[in-house]
Amino acid sequence: MCGAALYVSAAAGAHLLGAPPGPPSPVPAVPDVVAVVYTHGPRHAEPPVPRPRRGGLHLTDRRPSWTPARHALAVGEARAAIARGDVYQVNLVGHERAAYSGDPRPALRRVATLRGARYGGILTGPGWALATASPETLVEVRDGRVLTRPIKGTRPATAAGRAELLGSAKERAEHVMIVDLERNDLAMLPGTGPVTVEELYAVRRWCDLWQAESTVSAPLVDKVSLADLLRAVAPGGSVTGAPKRSAVEHIARLEPVGRGVSMGALGWVGTGHLDLGLSIRTVAVDATAVHVWAGGGITWSSDPWAEVAEAAAKAAPIWAALGSSTRG
């Protein structure tokens, strides 16, 4: 064996945490855990993308799982939970689907090659496919260290947007809260040494957005299993909140549909190393529809309508890469 592609859903991550998985996935054809093992030898054909068709991809009847007003109301409910002291921060994610005609494969390749994708790729199975353009590391193990790179904080990729992100006390406080959560996650992982924040609040570009990223790492002083790693970091702190268990419980109550292929783990397990991205900026295709998710972290200082706009800004490059669409 030379390695394996591994996908773990957000619902599976919640199960590892002992928390409710939330509403059912809108793409039930995709399993909660997928491992594709690669060996040296003759190449085998991959499972086909759902119902290959002729012609370019065309999307119709595009529908969100919640309206902008309902999204804003959910942000208000999250702020109320923060005011009660139930949670300090909670990430809310919305979903949108569109029916499609034509061949989705070129569109999925466009998604996977979006600018700034650290984890750009496509995974397929019977009756489904997913493509990711994630910039975020959930967990990496290499050269005797384990690390995570949480991303939290978004602005338009302009000079003014960069200055605003660097100067935002709200975004920095939200980011540092998640960095502290990730430090604790790694510290609780058996077999690690002292946890270090190697880089804090570095601003990097993904498509037309600036995002703030930090790097948190620790040396491995003993053997650590894949199960131990997933229990420690899944579901990712930047897409759940703090405290993580309480945030996941609120997510299960507030979000309209399951997170499906989004907000989970997707990457590579090899001999002596592991590199799993957080499956943000990820799209799924089943036999009838294309599915996209986007969201953001909510704190007490969050403005509901600004959060709605931020989620739309994160989803826009995905929809643009997929191609033309019309709303129902």
Q: Rounded CA gap, 161 and 155, in Å?
A: 5
Are 136 and 118 contacting, i.e. CB atoms less than 8 angstroms apart?
Answer: yes
Q: Is 123 exposed, middle or buried (0-12, 13-18, 19+ CB in 10 A)?
A: buried
Report the amino acid identity of residue 126: P
Please name which of 6, 3, 43, 9 lies closest in space to residue 264, comparing C-alpha atoms: 9
Residue 125 phi, psi dihedral angles, 5° rounding = -150, 180
> Does residue 314 carry a catalytic annotation?
no
Residue 103 phi, psi dihedral angles, 5° rounding = -90, 120
Q: Pairing state of beta strands 89-101 and 241-242?
A: antiparallel
Helix (H, G, I), strand (E, B) or coil at 36: strand
Please count the CA atoms within 13 angstroms of the CA of 118 that sit on its side-chain side.
22
Are 59 and 267 contacting, i.e. CB atoms less than 8 angstroms apart?
Answer: no
Task: Spot the catalytic one: 96, 152, 182, 255.
Answer: 152
> Does residue 244 carry a catalytic annotation?
no
Say which residue the tokens 């600036």 belong to: 210
Q: What six digits make up the tokens of 163?
A: 């200055």
Per-position DSSP letters for 245-303, written without gaps between them: HHHHHHHHHH-SS--TTTTSEEEEEETTEEEEEE--SEEEE-SSEEEEEEEEEE-TT--
Q: What six digits make up the tokens of 129?
A: 């496919």
Report the amino acid identity of residue 71: H
Say which residue the tokens 């065309």 belong to: 58
Q: Rounded CA gap, 220 and 141, in Å?
A: 9
Say which residue the tokens 């005011």 belong to: 83
Residues marked active site are found at 136, 152
